[in-house]
Amino acid sequence: MSVRILSADQMRWADMTTTEAGISGFELMDRAGRAVADAVLDYMPDFGRVVIVIGPGNNGGDGFAAARYLRSRRIPVTLVMLVPLDTLGGDTLMHAELAREAGAKLRDASSDRCFAELNRWLLRAVMVVDAMFGTGLTRPLSGRLAKAVAQINQADRPVLSIDIASGLNADSGEVMGDAVKADFTLPVAAYKWGYWMGVGPEFSGRLLPASAIGVEDETLCRAWAAVPDPSVSKGSTVLRSACFIHSDMIGQAWPKRHRLSHKGNFGRVWIFGGSAGFTGAPRLASLGALAAGAGLVSVVCPDDVYPVVASGSLETMVHSQSSGAWMREGDGLIDQADAIVAGPGWGCAQTTLLARLLDVDRPLLLDADALNMIAADAALQSRVSERDSLTVLTPHPGEAARLLSCTVDDIQSDRKKAVLKLCKRYACWVVLKGNETLIASPQGDVMLNPSGSPQLAVAGSGDVLAGMLGRQLAVCYRNDTDVGMMLGAGVGLHGEAGEQNGWYLAGELAGMVAGLRQGIERKHGD
């Protein structure tokens, strides 16, 4: 299954490259149509009529091809054409003719008189297929096309959109005029950003696996370099690749535990955080690290909160900041760290210690107040971008706005652009949190996390994530594991835990993470 994400122009380039390599546009449409028919058969609630609403471009061609395959399974099909047949392209026309020969009813709704029938046709359907527009939408829907969308949405029938819900911009996820509210979207050949950007998730319904229509994976991968991503600007890293986080990636990060393994095998994470009024954050981060499988977790917190943090930490070793032993030159305990997390609940008076940590040759994750201190201090900013060891920033949109000196709206209006700008500015890995968390490498490899839920919008869930990712970085340091895979798996597991029932508060989320992680490790043993 492809997990690639392309822009509309990149997809067009990949389609064109594929046809130049010898697979005709007619054949690509045919394969897309077969995949649509299979999906309709899988998800139609009952045997009955399928109404396919056809637009002016190749998306409509996929709809005609689907009609023929549905007819071959004896499904009654009505094809409703929103533009006159004689305006359609050659491949689409050929598929229209074949669909008619196969017994699909063609209904011309391109004139006002016939359009009045649309509602009646829609109400006869057990399922509606939206083949109005795909990646070729260039301007807002208006007139009869916008009315057709409104009627599809009012008809209250399950809707499957081919490639993308019509009216949704395939790159930005903006609604252009109006958009179909799909129950299912079947991506053609690869995924499009519009499913997740903007309001895309509210219109895309359930995303089905992308249909393999014969566009080679290698062609999809070349498209990123061949056609610039629309979010790339002068101040951002160039997007080199894009995929979404999937269960295989999550599985790879937690192999089966060896029978004789002990806690020393699973990485040591050091967490710097906590301040008066914020004693829970480092504890939650340490729970996150342990839940993700870290062997040993140490917390260093300011002296005034040491008694509180230490007394509330059963599984963690806690040091007070002034005790000093942990950072003694040569034999300090911190030399044993495989990764360091700095920031949860730390307050903004820790610039000296933060500067010291930036010099430690270990993977370093900077979260929360560490990010706020960096945002306010040009010297720290230079030290971050000049660091040789692995550095990861985990801002939420508010912190990201501070780091880029812009507004939260600027960040949220194009999150992909924001994450690529942060990479360029700080020359490190960035995890931009929020609904559909984005991860980007300094080289411009972007991963999108489709899992998670608003359940995660509870105090402390980000602290749990920081600790989890600290554990992931510890594994990278010890085993030289792929950083993108480990961060992607950490963010993916955090999101999956967030989707489960049975937890309410951030501490319980860590318990949920631990349970899921153990389940994955045990599965490898079957």
Ligand X SMILES: NC(=O)C1=CN([C@@H]2O[C@H](COP(=O)(O)OP(=O)(O)OC[C@H]3O[C@@H](n4cnc5c(N)ncnc54)[C@H](O)[C@@H]3O)[C@@H](O)[C@H]2O)[C@@H](O)CC1
Please count the other Cβ atoms lying within 10 Å of the Cβ belonging to residue 54. 29
Strands 445-448 and 438-440: antiparallel
Stretch binding ligand X (CB under 6 A), from 26-34, 219-227, 314-322, 383-391: 26-34
Does 163 bind ligand ADP (CB under 6 A)? Our answer is no
For residue 48, which phi and psi values (nearest 5 degrees)?
170, -170
Count of residues in contact with K ion, rule CB under 5 A? 4
Contacting K ion within 147-166 (CB under 5 A)? 161-162, 166
The nearer residue to ligand X, 187 or 282, going by C-beta atoms, is: 187
Instruction: Give me the sign of the Cα torsion angle 337, 341, 343, 344.
Output: negative
Query: Residue 60 annotated as binding?
Result: yes
DSSP-derived letter for residue 350 is -
| Cβ atoms of residues 53 and 33 within 8 Å | no
Among 298, 437, 441, 472, binds ligand ADP (CB under 6 A): 437
Contacting residue, 3, 7, 13, 15, with ligand X by CB under 6 A: 15
User: Which of ligand X, K ion, ligand ADP, none does residue 282 bind (CB under 5 to 8 Å by kind)?
Assistant: none
The interface partner of residue 79, options being ligand ADP, ligand X, K ion, none and the CB cut-off 5 to 8 Å by kind, is none
| Amino acid, res. 425 | R
Residues 366-425 that bind ligand ADP (CB under 6 A): 396
CA distances from 482 to 200, 225, 380, 390 (A): 30, 22, 27, 12
Binding test (CB under 6 A) with ligand ADP, winner from 465, 468, 497, 516 = 465
Among 15, 30, 62, 130, binds K ion (CB under 5 A): 130
Tally Cβ neighbours within 10 Å of residue 63: 31
Q: Does the annotation list 134 as a binding residue? A: yes
Residue 130 touches which of K ion, ligand ADP, ligand X, none (Cβ within 5-8 Å per kind) = K ion
Query: Smaller CB distance to ligand X: residue 139 or 259?
Result: 139
Cα–Cα distance measured from residue 193 to residue 201, given in angstroms and rounded to the nearest whole number: 10
Rounded Cα gap, residues 20 and 28, in angstroms: 12
Residue 415's Cβ-side half-sphere holds a number of Cα atoms within 13 Å equal to: 27
Residue type, 162: I
**Does residue number 358 form part of the binding site for ligand X (CB under 6 A)?**
no
229 lies in the binding site for K ion (CB under 5 A): no
Among 3, 5, 32, 446, binds ligand X (CB under 6 A): 32
Q: How far is the CB of 73 from ligand X (least distance, A)?
A: 20
Annotated binding-site residue? 371:
no
Which of the choices ligand ADP, ligand X, K ion, none does residue 261 contact, using the CB cut-off of 5 to 8 A by kind?
none
Our CB check for K ion shows the closer of 211 and 286 to be 211
Instruction: Confirm whether residue 140 is marked as ligand binding.
Output: yes
CA proximity to 188, closest of 13, 22, 17, 33: 33
Residue placing its CB nearer to ligand ADP in the complex, 298 or 372? 372
* C-alpha to C-alpha distance for 348 and 369, rounded to whole angstroms: 6
205 binding ligand ADP? (CB under 6 A): no
- C-alpha span between 520 and 253 (Å, rounded): 9
Dihedral sign for Cα 60, 64, 69, 71, please: positive
**Between 32 and 466, whose beta carbon lies closer to ligand X?**
32
Asked whether position 505 contacts ligand ADP by CB under 6 A, the answer is no
Find the length of the chain.
526
Element (H or E) spanning 317, and its range? strand 317-320
Query: Shortest CA distance to 215 belongs to which of 452, 27, 439?
Result: 27
Tell which one of 207, 456, 486, 489 touches ligand ADP (CB under 6 A).
456
Q: Whose Cβ is closer to ligand X: residue 141's or residue 353's?
A: 141
Query: Which x/- pattern over 203-242 shows residues binding ligand X (rule: CB under 6 A)?
Result: ----------x-----------------------------
3-class SS string, 117-163: CHHHHHHCCCEEEEECCCCCCCCCCCHHHHHHHHHHHHCCCCEEEEC
Q: Which does 396 bind (CB under 5 to 8 A by kind): ligand X, K ion, ligand ADP, none?
A: ligand ADP
| b/e 15-47 (16+ beta carbons within 10 angstroms → b) | bebbbeeebebbbbbbbbbbbbbbbbeeebeee
- Is 169 a binding residue for ligand X by CB under 6 A? The answer is no
Q: Does 158 bind ligand X (CB under 6 A)?
A: no
454 counts as binding ligand ADP under rule CB under 6 A: yes
Token couple for 513? 């993470």
Instruction: For Cα atoms 166, 167, 170, give the angle at the middle one, nearest 5 degrees.
Output: 85
Question: Minimum distance from CB of 131 to ligand X (Å)?
Answer: 8
Written as one string, the DSSP assignment of 390-426 is: -EEE---HHHHHHHHTS-HHHHHHTHHHHHHHHHHHH
Under the criterion CB under 6 A, does residue 61 sit at the interface with ligand X? yes
- Asked if 138 is part of the footprint of ligand X (rule: CB under 6 A), the reply reads yes
236 binds, among ligand X, K ion, ligand ADP, none (CB under 5 to 8 A by kind): none
Binding-site residue numbers are: 58-62, 130, 134-140, 163, 166, 281, 345, 396, 433-437, 462-463
List of residues contacting ligand ADP (CB under 6 A) = 396, 433-435, 437, 452-454, 456-457, 459-463, 465, 494
List of residues contacting ligand X (CB under 6 A) = 15, 19, 25, 28-29, 32, 55-59, 61-62, 133-141, 145, 162-163, 188, 213
Binding-site residue numbers for K(+) are: 59, 130, 166
List of residues contacting K ion (CB under 5 A) = 130, 161-162, 166
Binding-site residue numbers for AMP are: 433-437, 462
